[in-house]
Chains A and B, each alone.
Chain A
Amino acid sequence: MKIISSLIFCLFLFSENVLASSSANYRIESDVIGIGGNSSGSASYNISDTLGQSVIGLGTSTNYKVQEGFWHTVNFSISLAVDSHNLNLGTITPGTPVNEQTTISVITDAWGGYDLLVSQNHAMTHTDAVTTIADYACAIANPCAWSGNGLGFTVNSGTNVEVKWGTSPNYNYAYFPLSQTVFHAKGGYLSGVDQTAVGYRLDVPATQRSGQYSNIITYTAMAKL
């Protein structure tokens, strides 16, 4: 019996998904105590299932609310809107960077907050369909101070902006990735609109072919449980 007790103890000690609560930011991931279950999905559908869950119900206090039972609370709503769908950075003279900004507004009832992701369809491309403007040198994981040329972005303002993005006027910049990548995480529930301002910065070398360049930036907000 001692062996069994030890195994059970170890199970709950190391399995963070079972009791993934933390007190630092009051973030409590969705927990479940059952005998089985998992999340799975296809291109069009996702399912999170639980087998053998025994404790269900609704509990509330002045400041907290807990909903227990078979994933009946995962139907979050979330919306994202950008302030302009067409952003013209204007005319750039090589060597003189241009700056612009997109404000992203997110509304969600997800108690875990949300992640903001971004991607570009391709580097900014000339109307000749061949010539491109280089991406900025640094990645989202490690944005860096502006230096040189390329298209980069930063987080100008928002809720709980990550330190890595810097502050005005010393922002740090990263290139837009080709696949959706988290660049800002907003933790915790927020009752109203949450806005994040993304700053664009662009400079080109003197040899950059003149003319018009364009691409498409896609922003995604993903609710967190």
Chain B
Amino acid sequence: MQNKNKKRKVSVFFLSLFLVIIFFLFQNSNFSQGATTTDQVNLSVTVAETISLDCGADVNLGTLTPGTPVSASSVCTTTTNANGGYDVAVKRDDADTTMDHSTDATTNITDKTAWNRTTPNAAAYATTGLAFSVFASTATKNTTWWGTGLTCHDADNLYAGFPTTYTNVMEHASYSSGSTTTSICYRVDVPATQKSGSYTGSVTYQVTSKP
């Protein structure tokens, strides 16, 4: 009788083991996968260039005593995503000279020789006239053009007069992920015979993105 019970227990054990194995075999089966097929799409897009420029507020050069030059500066901030960078150009807005007497437009402050990008002609400031220099840039400063000065009053700055047509004063040849600045220094002196009074004028900056 004991022997029979023992055999029965062994049979139940092995049968249970068998059923558990079968159970897990089916649990691990994955019958939901069948045939597959694929196709592809080549996706492309062109991101357009955007560019903006902000040269800040008007600049007042203050009161000028003939023989003692005065200086002041503008900081032009450019924001662009252009792959090839950008150029900054400038021109004066008045045909004869940049600055005219405010009550007598025939009386002018003489401009220095206009900037020529092709044959760079900026020089150390001397004598009289209105001139400008690009003394700093977080993009690209061309020291061959504008000298090695670091500030607006730096004696190492090179100066030229404002051209009558847009002419590049800064050329940046690579992408910048953030805004970059170009700093321009204005410098002016007049002869002792210069008519007293207020003189005004304007120049226009232009930025051009490059692909």
**Which A residues are within 8 Å of any B CB, using their own CB?**
3-4, 7-8, 11, 14-15, 17-18, 29-30, 32, 35-39, 46, 48, 74-82, 84-94, 98, 102, 104, 108, 110, 112, 124, 126, 128, 133, 200, 202, 204, 206-225
Are B38's CB and A78's CB within 8 A?
no
CA distance A37 to B41 in the complex (A): 39
A32–B28 alpha-carbon span in the complex (Å):
13
Secondary structure of the B contact surface, majority rule: mixed
Q: Does B58 contact A (CB under 8 A)?
A: no
Q: How far is the CA of A82 from the CA of B83 in the complex (A)?
A: 33
Given the known interface contacts A14-B23, A15-B23, A18-B26, the answer about A87 and B33 at a Cβ–Cβ threshold of 8 Å is no
What's the Cα separation between A214 and B45 when bound, in Å?
6
A91 to B40 alpha-carbon distance, docked (Å): 22
Q: Would you call B60 an interface residue if the criterion is a C-beta within 8 Å of the partner chain's C-beta atoms?
A: no
* A-B interface, 3 closest residue pairs, ranked by CB to CB distance from nearest: A223-B34, A89-B45, A214-B44
Interfacial chain A residues near B36, Cβ < 8 Å: 78, 220-223
Contact of B40 among A37, A89, A93, A219 (CB under 8 A): A219
Q: In this assembly, does B48 line the interface, its C-beta being within 8 Å of a C-beta of chain A?
A: yes
B11 to chain A, nearest CB (A): 9
User: Cα distance A16–B29 when bound, in Å?
Assistant: 10
Question: In the complex, are the beta carbons of B83 and A210 less than 8 A apart?
Answer: yes
Across the interface, do B34 and A38 meet the contact criterion of CB distance under 8 Å?
no
CA A1 – CA B50 in complex, angstroms? Answer: 83
In the bound assembly, the distance between CA atoms of A78 and B23 in angstroms comes to: 32
A74 to B39, CA, bound (A): 22
Q: Write out the residue numbers on chain A whose beta carbons fall within 8 Å of the beta carbon of B29.
A: 17, 37-39, 48
Interface residues of B (CB under 8 A from A): 12, 15-16, 19, 22-23, 25-50, 79, 81-83, 175, 177-178, 209, 211
| Chain B residue contacts of A46, Cβ below 8 A | 33
Instruction: Report the separation of the CA atoms of residues A88 and B44 in the bound assembly, to the nearest whole angstrom.
Output: 5
Q: Are B38 and A214 in contact (CB under 8 A)?
A: no
Beyond A7-B16, A38-B29, is A86–B23 a contact (Cβ under 8 Å)? Answer: no
Q: A91-B48, A206-B81 are in contact. Are A15 and B26 (CB under 8 A)?
A: yes
Bound: A159/B140 CA distance, A: 57
User: Shortest Cβ distance from B97 into chain A, in angstroms?
Assistant: 39
Contact in complex: A211, B32 (CB < 8 Å): no
Tell whether, in the assembled complex, residue B40 and residue A218 are in contact, meaning their CB atoms are under 8 Å apart.
Answer: yes
CB neighbours (8 Å) of B26 from chain A are 15, 17-18
Say whether A90 contacts B178, CB under 8 Å. Answer: no
Distance of B104 from chain A, by nearest CB (Å): 46
Between A and B, 23 residue pairs with Cβ closer than 8 Å are A17-B27, A17-B29, A18-B26, A32-B31, A39-B29, A39-B31, A82-B40, A84-B41, A85-B40, A88-B44, A88-B45, A90-B45, A91-B45, A91-B48, A108-B35, A110-B34, A110-B35, A133-B45, A202-B45, A206-B50, A211-B47, A218-B39, A219-B39
Nearest chain A CB to B178's CB is how many angstroms away? 7
Residues of chain B within 8 A (CB-CB) of A77 are 35
Determine the distance from Cα of A29 to Cα of B29 in the docked complex, in whole angstroms: 12
User: Which of B15, B31, B41, B44 is within 8 Å of A219, CB to CB?
Assistant: B41
Residues in B whose Cβ lies below 8 Å from that of A87: 41-44
The residue in chain A whose Cβ has the minimal distance to the Cβ of B24 is A15
* Docked complex Cα distance between A108 and B81 (Å): 47
